[in-house]
Amino acid sequence: MRTHSCLIAIVLLTPCVARAQTTGDGLQALIRGDCATAARILRPLAEDGSRPDPLAMFFMATLYHSGRGVAMNQLRACGLYFRAATATSPFLVQSLALAESIHHDNPRLREECSAASAGAWHEPPVSLFTLGRDHWVRIDP
């Protein structure tokens, strides 16, 4: 009897394990218009180093492209569109078209988009250039 009481107490006192969030959960947040929640859900799914989800990448790219839920970042959007353009993605054609709409066949910008699609994304570091006495330029992400 005592064993049963202990098991019941453990079950009742153990916090519930949170359900892993899916791309579908992120899309539902987008449909509700909650772009910040959608970004919070989709970002780890899109940036999973071992198995990134092409759908999460595509919708995360649309958030970066529009600046909804995240800071607008055209280069990041372009890189994610390129990464989302996998053979198995239902948005293959759309991903490539949207990436092209960002780089507009500019070879330099296309290179940067392609580089942004490779590997894990890291915000660029802050750069500070001194132009002269009391004159400087600071470049933030």
DSSP 55-124: HHHHHHHHHHHHTSSS---HHHHHHHHHHH--TT-TTHHHHHHHHHHHHTT-HHHHHHHHHHHSS---PP
Question: 10-42, pLDDT tens digit by residue?
Answer: 434 444 445 678 999 999 999 999 999 999 999
Give the pLDDT of residue 34: 95
Q: Where are the domains of the chain?
A: 2-139
Sequence letter at residue 37: T
Integer Cα distance of 65 and 81 in angstroms = 10
Using a cut of 0.85, tell me whether the model's pTM lies above it: no
Integer Cα distance of 111 and 75 in angstroms = 10
Given a cut of 80, whether residue 87 has pLDDT beyond it is yes
Give the pLDDT of residue 39: 95
Quote the percentage of the chain above a pLDDT of 70. Answer: 80
Average pLDDT, the chain: 81
Residue 121: pLDDT band with limits 50, 70, 90: low
CA atoms within 13 A on the CB side of 10: 6
